[in-house]
Structure 1
Amino acid sequence: MYHYTESGLQNVYLSNGFKIRKTAAGDAVAIVDAGGLHQVIGRHIASKGHMTGAEFRFLRKELDFSQTRFGALLDVSEEAVSLWERRGRIPKSACRWMQALYLESVNGNVRVKDLIEQLANLDREQHDKLVFEDTEAGWREAA
């Protein structure tokens, strides 16, 4: 049995799928298909109820979101996301967003992740002057 702390989670153990090798620097552990292992761990976390801070961090990192980027998606600060991860008190809405994003992403629906990022970017853009034009096809935003 191997205690897989490299995931950042303290409650993950592997019954097989790893090899321990002796090196000059000490024992080294090789995990078979670490990406597949992380996906199974992530699906388990995303399919349960409320998450711990470490579980939230695990999913965020698997989605390749920084604390800043995820915070921007929910219109909260990087510091807020950091506190959630350290203290484990994550708002239910943030928990649900993270779980939905992760499950949609691993199920191959990257469009959901892309759409949310686009919406977050739109909020950051400044729209000082909105210009529209009437065309034969109807009104549209002017180029």
Structure 2
Amino acid sequence: MILSTIGYESTTLPEVIAKLRTAGVEVVIDVRAVAASRRAGFSKTMLRASLEAEGIAYEHLRGLGTPKPGREAARRGRITEMEAIFDAHMQSPEAQDGLALAIAIARERHAALLCFEACASGCHRRIVAERIREATGCEIGNL
């Protein structure tokens, strides 16, 4: 079982879709707290429609997004601070519910966690992926 992650910071929607298709991803799990974007095609409604047109399901799990203070810390390059904020957030019922659903999805289909940051190492999706790996034993591949 493989769990993929992908960030769209420095790419286009067609490029993201091509990477997802090449990897065999069946469902994208959007782990942004706010599923809106200034980058063309990456706001929730357009992203869902574009993915579904390509046969890729879409699930937005807002509870697995980074709270605003965490996003601000990440933008300033304070990754350790973002991680601490996100770890605390992961104790919330909304985050726990989102994680349980993400785990269930990842057990059934090849899923990819999607967020903005190009590099998974500085993004909260790495933490979510690690928690899914702990629960499922899956391998993680960063697209």
TM-score of the superposed pair, with normalisation by structure 1: 0.24
TM-score by length of 2: 0.24
Higher relative contact order (CA 8 A, sep 6+): 2
Larger Rg: 1
